[in-house]
């Protein structure tokens, strides 16, 4: 049965009516009409639906909406603002450095998996600002890309990390 | 130059779909592709689609001095929609910031056939270029009248036409035509800009779809919602059975979902779906609905499919015969004769198929991710029982599909559910639907014999190949209408690829025999999977060539070089060898007893009309059987590279995907159903397994553009196979080269 649940997404509070076992992804897509997180497998195997829950990369396709009450959810759309807050910036940039690096590297093909790629990379850099190649490959291993753009994702993450150094 | 083609000039059936096809073309010659001299530009017109003979079908000039280009091709992540705009902007003398395109829509886009066979630039480019040139000429004629100056003295730049002696005297395209139609017949005869004057074509313009894709603003098909719509899911057995068996419903237990409020079951014969206002309810209901299916046990498991094809009654044809292979083999110094096997592989798009249909009694609008909107529309018209002219298909990009995955199936499912409920219905396949009901890339069996003389010259080559045909009926239609599925056996992509099978080498005695296996009984659904069958062909063929090099005592690169004369093939081969710092030595000379051994391999290949070569450096763990691709190098000559950066990106993706297909991708099935239904049971290459890649684009401004979306795949795959031999001294003759296959090969 649907019940009223309050969730915080991209620094805004929403009251939604949903069965408590509804996966967060369906709430984000259908109630909040967010287009960043997308369905890929519904099994937490691919990373297409990833969001940050209190800064931790989480698979929204298997996360019950009731489990994220009182937690702060950030989607791809809210990533620049999340980053500004994290870094104590006075203004929110148009894009998170990882997003900008993906453009600079012209990394993607279809880009469907890039929601998860970017969310995961942002999480990684928030914890390890200067990751090694091994750390990047290991952190990103749970995110699949069928187009085969891993080498460019790797380069883009390195570029984003480098941007932070040169700032 | 326009002339009437003969009826046999259409290599792919897509062009014949629309009744009363009207064809305007430049050079049509024969049924072959680029390397054999064809330069075909085909599209169909008809009463149910925009008239391709009108320039207004191709582009529009706006008052703000910009242009909208109506593309007949779709974005699949390959960058073609940006590259096509480069071609249009170049010929129109507009800047890239002055041109945009609109999504493909059967009601307003020119029918250019499928965005497949790497055709967007190769086939779509010349036509768009001619249309843009004709538009430019028309605009200059208007300017000449307005300014009273002859065309020859009116240069144009960024959409501003000025008088050469007095540049202050100028007028813009927008002022000349702003938002009014051309009303001009498209003749294809306007003069084209010389290649030497190109500024935009050949430049590394960034892709126009990337910023929205990384910011989250891009609307993928899966993101689309309309008001009042229902969410639908299909209900099918987990994993398809043999193609002709479909799935037969014995009983539907409606009470099994009575606890989920608001769900409706949609049934049409054996087609079953559920719809609900709430998506999670639809997902749960599809999972929970108890349906009893008629058991089907007519498959042989995937381990037996090659023997099944070998024993089948086949339709045979000799695709190429020169000299006398048997006699030449008899005289050869060294001979090889081996059997090779390739698996069913899935398109496995990362996001499962999705479609949204709004069907009323009068008309239907279907939004989906098809590679061929006009073909999709024709099928939907049959499924809906509605004339083609009442059905409208709009393209929304999904995730990379690499051929005909389930996108038509999902479009049909949404249409049926919408027609039954009278409401808009959005259908998204679940992961198991997509992997379990795909139109898979078919398996392949090859028997190859070849021989070499005492000087290392290849003297004989025979390739006999077995593969089954493609299914053309989508599952939703088959289940809903109860019709026996149809199949397609025509077209180059369904038989041995003459251009790929050793055509790069100068061999006096060659025989290619195609064994066509009727696919209806006891096989899975088959269709075009990126570079159809070429990975299997190259896996067999390029290992054969490598083996001849080994037996003759030659370095694999030197052996290939001495057996080739074609300059373009040699150029890609040398380019990739140079990039990989290839040093000459015979293969398998550095065998060691170490647990992890390294090897390198080289191979060549193509799909239709381009030239590719690859080098692979791998490691093999002899204890675990695990192969790690360390570094793959790929060189591609696709003629004039409209945007070299896009081709580099495509090569990079192909090298990685080829690694996945060579090492991991494999559809598994029992005697009743497909069993590879998620990313655990259908594993693909992961981030940590990804090789480093080096890409080389051989730019050929003097050659026409050819395909760049599939052509580098098979050489990379075969290079990995050859590297395995270099590392271990053992040949693997079946892929994917999984740990278990590696271990059993090493034990022999």
Residue A62 is given by DSSP the state S
**Which of B300-304, B377-381, B445-449 is predicted with the least confidence, judged by mean pLDDT?**
B300-304
* pLDDT, tens only, B656-701: 999 999 999 999 999 999 999 999 999 999 999 999 999 999 999 9
Instruction: Find the residue in B nearest to A64 (Cα).
Output: B280
* pLDDT above 90: percentage of residues in chain B: 84
In the numeric block, the tokens 């109860």 are attached to: B482
Distance from CA of B79 to the nearest CA of A (A): 8
Q: Which helix (H) or strand (E) holds A103?
A: helix A97-104
Q: In B, which residues are within 8 Å of A41 by CB distance? A: 431, 678-679
- Cα–Cα distances (Å) from B363 to B55, B108, B137, B326, B410, in that order, read 28, 16, 39, 61, 19
Among A46, A77, A108, the domain-final residue is: A77
Q: Across the interface, which of B207, B219, B278 has its CB nearest the CB of A106? A: B207
Q: Answer yes or no: do A110 and B692 touch at CB < 8 A.
A: no
Same domain? A60 vs A34? yes
Asked if the model's pLDDT at residue B3 lies above 50, the reply is: no
pLDDT (0 to 100) of residue B5 = 28
Interface test with B, best of A17, A104, A110, A144 (most B CBs within 10 A): A110
Residues in chain B with CB shorter than 8 Å from the CB of A33 are 225
Residues A141 and A92 in one domain: yes
Q: Is the ipTM of this complex over 0.85?
A: yes
Q: Are B717 and B535 in contact (CB under 8 A)?
A: yes
Residues A83 and A158 in one domain: yes
The answer to whether B687 contacts A153, with C-beta atoms less than 8 Å apart, is: yes
Smallest CA-to-CA distance from B346 within B711, B664, B739 is with B664
pLDDT tens digits, one per residue of B256-270: 999 999 999 999 999
Residue B239 near residue B675 (C-beta atoms within 8 A): yes
Binding-face residues of A in 86-125 toward B, CB within 8 A = 94-95, 99, 102-103, 106, 108-115, 118
Contact check, Cβ <8 Å, B684/A146: yes
Whether residues A107 and A155 share a domain: the answer is yes
Q: Which residue of A has its CA nearest to B426?
A: A30
Q: Which of B182-186, B293-297, B394-398 has the lowest mean pLDDT?
A: B293-297
Domain edge (last residue) among A51, A77, A103: A77
H helix intervals, B533-689: 534-552, 556-562, 567-579, 644-663
**How sure is the predictor about B103, in pLDDT bands with cuts at 50, 70 and 90?**
confident
| B319-341 mean pLDDT | 98
CB neighbour list of residue B447: distance below 8 Å, 6 or more residues apart: B337, B338, B339, B463, B464, B465
> A89 and A33 in one domain?
no
Decide which of A46, A62, A77 is a domain's last residue: A77
pTM (2 d.p.)? 0.94
Q: Is the pLDDT of residue A137 over 60?
A: yes
Same domain, A19 and A82: no
Within this chain, do residues A73 and A136 fall inside the same structural domain, yes or no? no
Q: Does B369 touch chain A (CB under 8 A)?
A: no
Contacts of B630 in chain A (CB under 8 A): none
For residue B204, what is the nearest residue in chain A, using CA coordinates?
A106
Number of domains in chain A: 2
Which of A 124-143 lie inside 8 A of B, CB atoms?
137-138, 140-141, 143
A90/A70 same-domain check: no
Query: Which residue is closest to B284 within chain A, CA to CA?
Result: A22
Q: How close are the terminal C-alpha atoms of chain B, in Å?
A: 62
Residue A125 C-alpha, separation from nearest chain B C-alpha, in angstroms: 17
Residue pairs between chains A and B whose CB atoms are closer than 8 Å: 168
Contacts of A19 in chain B (CB under 8 A): 280
Note whether B288 contacts A: Cβ–Cβ < 8 A.
no
The Cα A69–Cα A65 span in angstroms is 7
User: How does pLDDT run across B602-653, given as a tens digit for each residue?
Assistant: 999 999 889 999 999 999 999 999 999 999 999 999 999 999 999 999 999 9
Strands (E), B606-654: 611-621, 627-637
Asked if B653 contacts A149 with a C-beta cutoff of 8 angstroms, the reply is yes
- The pLDDT of residue B490 is 67
Looking at per-residue confidence, does B123 or B412 come out higher?
A: B412
Say whether B280 and A26 touch across the interface (CB within 8 A).
yes
A92 and A67 share a domain?
A: no
Residue A152 sits in the same domain as residue A130: yes
Residue B290 pLDDT level (bands cut at 50, 70, 90): very high
> Closest approach of chain A CAs to the CA of B352, in angstroms?
6
Under 8 Å between Cβ of B201 and B640: yes
Count how many residues are written for chain A.
167
Same-domain status, A103 and A63: no
**pLDDT value for B541:** 98
Tokens of B644: 């070299």
Q: What's the N-to-C CA distance of chain A in angstroms?
A: 51
Token digits of residue B99: 């041109």
Domain interval for residue A100: 78-166
Q: Residue A96 has which token pair? A: 């998170």
* Of A19, A138, A146, Cβ closest to residue B350: A146
* Predicted confidence (pLDDT) per residue in B9-58, tens digit: 222 222 222 222 222 222 222 222 222 222 323 345 556 778 888 999 99
Closest chain A residue by Cα to residue B430: A41
> Are residues A72 and A57 part of one domain?
yes
Percent of chain B scored above 70 by pLDDT?
93
Angle between helices A97-104 and A150-166 (to 10 degrees): 120
pLDDT digits (tens, 9 = 90+) for B573-593: 999 999 999 999 999 998 999
Nearest beta carbon to residue A106 from set B210, B431, B684: B210
d(CA B167, CA B161): 9
* Closest residue to A111, CB basis, from B218, B278, B349: B218
Distance from CA of A5 to the nearest CA of B (A): 16
**Nearest-CB residue to B350 (from A22, A40, A151):** A40
Is a pLDDT exceeding 70 seen at residue B253? yes
Strand order in the sheet with B230-234: B264-268, B271-276, B230-234, B425-428, B354-359, B364-368, B391-395
Closest Cβ–Cβ partner in B219, B402, B653 for A35? B219
Q: Which of B217, B645, B679 sits opposite A144 (nearest CB)?
A: B679
**DSSP state letter for B578:** H
Of residues B525 and B519, the one with the higher pLDDT is: B525
Q: Kindly list the structural domains of chain B, giving each domain's residue range(s) and its CATH number in brackets, ordered by start.
A: 47-201 (3.30.365.10), 222-294+353-428 (3.30.365.10), 303-345+440-747 (3.30.365.10)
Touching check for B39 and chain A: CB below 8 Å?
no
Contact B557, B572 (CB under 8 A): no
Q: Does B241 touch chain A (CB under 8 A)?
A: no
Mutate to test the interface with B, among A40, A146, A159, A160 (most CBs of B within 10 A): A146
Residue B303 neighbours by CB under 8 Å, 6+ apart: none
Contacts of B400 in chain A (CB under 8 A): 109-110, 112, 146-147
Nearest CA in chain A to B78: A109
Query: pLDDT value at position A1?
Result: 67
Nearest CA in chain B to A77: B216
Q: How close is the nearest chain A Cα to the Cα of B81, in Å?
A: 12
- Which among A144, A148, A150 is the top mutation candidate for probing chain B, defined by the most B β-carbons within 10 Å of its own β-carbon? A148
Nearest by Cα to B78 from B342, B371, B301: B371
Report the distance separating Cα B635 and Cα B622, nearest Å.
Answer: 30
Q: What is the CATH number of the domain that holds A148?
A: 1.10.150.120
CA B688 from centroid of its chain's CA atoms: 26
> In this predicted structure, which of A131-135, B76-80, B393-397, B517-521 has the lowest mean pLDDT?
B517-521
By C-alpha distance, the chain B residue nearest A36 is: B216
Looking at chain B from residue 372 to 401, which residues have their Cβ under 8 Å from any Cβ of chain A?
397-400
Q: How far off is chain A from B369, nearest CA to CA, in Å?
A: 12
Of B217, B283, B400, the CB nearest to A147: B400
User: Using the 8-state DSSP alphabet, how is residue B440 labeled?
Assistant: B
A144·B680 Cβ contact <8 A: no
CA distance B279 to A36: 18
**Quick one: tokens of B257?**
């979902």
Q: What is the mean pLDDT of residues A39-53?
A: 98
Contact across the interface for B350 and A110, Cβ inside 8 Å:
yes
**All residues at 6 or more sequence positions from B581 whose CB lies less than 8 Å from its CB, including other chains:** none
Three-state DSSP state, B598 = strand
- Tens digits of residue pLDDT in B169-226: 999 999 999 999 999 999 999 999 999 999 999 999 999 999 999 999 999 999 999 9
CB A102 to CB B210 under 8 A?
Answer: yes
Task: Specify the pLDDT at position B45.
Answer: 53
Residue B374 has pLDDT above 50, yes or no: yes
Q: Which residues of B touch A94 (CB under 8 A)?
A: 215
Least Cα separation, residue B393 to chain A (angstroms)? 21
- Taking CA atoms, A165 is separated from A97, A130, A162, B196, B567, in Å, by 12, 8, 5, 43, 47
**Are A108 and B210 inside 8 Å of each other by CB?**
yes
Is residue B108 a contact partner of residue B50, using CB atoms and an 8 Å limit?
yes
User: Nearest Cα to A58, choosing from A66, A70, A50, A69?
Assistant: A50
**What pLDDT shows up at residue B15?**
26
Residue B7: predicted pLDDT:
27
Contact list in B for residue A52 (CB cut-off 8 A) is none
CATH assignment at residue A27: 3.10.20.30
d(CA B313, CA B264): 46
């Amino acid at each position: 049965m649907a019940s009223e649940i309050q969730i915080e997404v991209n620094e805004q509070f929403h009251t939604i009516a949903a069965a408590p076992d509804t996966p967060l992804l369906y709430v984000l897509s259908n109630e909040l009409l967010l287009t960043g997180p997308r369905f890929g497998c519904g099994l937490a195997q691919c990373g297409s639906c990833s969001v940050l829950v209190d800064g931790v990369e989480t698979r929204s396709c298997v996360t019950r909406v009731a489990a994220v009450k009182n937690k702060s959810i950030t989607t791809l759309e809210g990533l620049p603002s999340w980053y500004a807050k994290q870094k104590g910036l006075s203004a929110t940039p148009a894009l998170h450095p990882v997003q900008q690096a993906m453009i600079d590297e012209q990394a993607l093909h279809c880009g469907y998996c890039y929601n998860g790629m970017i969310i995961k990379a942002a999480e990684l850099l928030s914890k390890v600002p200067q990751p090694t190649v091994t750390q990047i490959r290991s952190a990103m291993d749970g995110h699949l890309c069928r187009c085969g753009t891993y080498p460019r994702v790797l380069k883009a993450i390195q570029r984003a990390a480098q941007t932070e150094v040169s700032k | 130059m326009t002339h009437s083609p003969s009826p046999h000039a259409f290599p792919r059936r897509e062009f014949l779909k629309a009744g009363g096809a009207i064809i305007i073309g430049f050079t049509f010659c024969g049924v072959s592709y680029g390397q054999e001299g064809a330069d075909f530009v085909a599209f169909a017109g008809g009463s149910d689609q925009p008239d391709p003979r009108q320039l207004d079908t191709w582009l529009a000039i706006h008052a703000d001095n910009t242009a909208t280009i109506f593309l007949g091709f779709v974005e699949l992540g390959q960058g073609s929609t940006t590259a096509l705009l480069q071609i249009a902007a170049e010929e129109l003398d507009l800047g890239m910031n002055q041109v945009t395109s609109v999504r493909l829509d059967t009601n307003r886009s020119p029918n250019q056939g499928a965005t497949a066979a790497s055709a967007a630039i190769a086939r779509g480019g010349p036509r768009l270029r001619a249309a843009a040139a004709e538009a430019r000429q028309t605009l200059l004629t208007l300017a000449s009248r307005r300014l009273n100056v002859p065309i020859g003295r009116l240069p144009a730049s960024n959409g501003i036409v000025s008088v050469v002696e007095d540049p202050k005297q100028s007028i813009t395209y927008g002022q000349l035509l702003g938002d009014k139609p051309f009303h001009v017949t498209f003749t294809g005869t306007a003069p084209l800009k010389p290649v030497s004057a190109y500024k935009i074509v050949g430049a590394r313009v960034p892709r126009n779809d990337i910023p929205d894709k990384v910011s989250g603003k891009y609307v993928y098909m899966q993101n689309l919602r309309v008001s009042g719509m229902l969410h639908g899911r299909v209900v099918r057995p987990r994993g398809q059975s043999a193609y002709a068996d479909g799935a037969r419903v014995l009983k539907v237990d409606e009470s099994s979902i009575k606890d989920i409020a608001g769900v409706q079951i949609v049934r049409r014969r054996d087609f079953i779906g559920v719809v609900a206002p709430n998506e999670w309810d639809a997902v749960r209901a599809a999972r929970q609905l108890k349906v009893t299916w008629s058991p089907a046990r007519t498959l042989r498991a995937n381990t037996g499919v090659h023997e099944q094809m070998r024993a089948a009654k086949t339709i045979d044809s000799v695709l190429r015969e020169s000299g006398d292979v048997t006699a030449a083999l008899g005289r050869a110094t060294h001979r090889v004769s081996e059997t090779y096997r390739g698996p069913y592989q899935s398109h496995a798009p990362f996001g499962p198929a999705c479609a949204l249909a709004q069907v009323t009694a009068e008309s239907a609008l279907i939004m989906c991710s098809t590679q061929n909107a006009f073909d999709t529309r024709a099928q939907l018209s049959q499924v809906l029982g509605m004339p083609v002219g009442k059905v409208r298909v709009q393209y929304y990009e999904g995730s990379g599909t690499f051929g005909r995955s389930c996108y038509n199936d999902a479009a049909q499912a949404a249409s049926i559910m919408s027609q039954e409920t009278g409401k808009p219905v959005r259908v998204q396949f679940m992961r198991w639907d997509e992997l379990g009901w795909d139109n898979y890339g078919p398996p392949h069996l090859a028997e190859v014999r070849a021989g070499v003389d005492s000087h290392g010259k290849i003297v004989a080559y025979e390739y006999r190949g077995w593969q089954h045909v493609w299914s053309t009926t989508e599952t939703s239609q088959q289940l809903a209408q109860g019709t026996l599925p149809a199949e397609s056996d025509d077209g180059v992509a369904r038989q041995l690829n003459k251009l790929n099978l050793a055509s790069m080498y100068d061999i006096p005695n060659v025989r290619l025999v195609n064994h066509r296996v009727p696919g209806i009984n006891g096989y899975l659904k088959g269709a075009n999977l990126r570079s159809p069958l070429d990975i299997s062909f190259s896996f067999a063929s390029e290992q054969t060539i490598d083996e001849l090099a080994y037996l003759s005592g030659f370095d694999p690169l030197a052996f290939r070089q001495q057996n080739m004369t074609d300059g373009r093939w040699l150029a890609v081969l040398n380019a990739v060898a140079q990039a990989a710092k290839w040093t000459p030595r015979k293969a398998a000379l550095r065998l060691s007893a170490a647990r992890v051994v390294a090897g390198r391999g080289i191979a060549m290949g193509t799909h239709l009309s381009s030239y590719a070569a690859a080098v692979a450096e791998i490691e093999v763990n002899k204890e675990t059987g695990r192969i790690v691709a360390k570094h793959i190098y790929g060189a591609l000559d696709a003629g004039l590279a409209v945007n070299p950066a896009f081709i580099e990106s495509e090569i990079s993706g192909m090298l990685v995907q080829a690694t996945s297909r060579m090492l991991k991708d494999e559809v598994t099935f029992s005697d009743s159903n497909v069993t590879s239904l998620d990313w655990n049971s259908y594993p693909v290459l992961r981030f940590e397994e990804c090789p480093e890649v080096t890409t080389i684009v051989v730019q050929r401004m003097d050659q026409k553009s050819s395909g760049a979306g599939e052509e580098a795949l098979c050489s990379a795959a075969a290079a990995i196979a050859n590297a395995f031999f270099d590392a271990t001294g053992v040949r693997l003759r079946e892929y994917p080269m999984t740990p278990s296959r590696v271990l059993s090969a090493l034990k022999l």
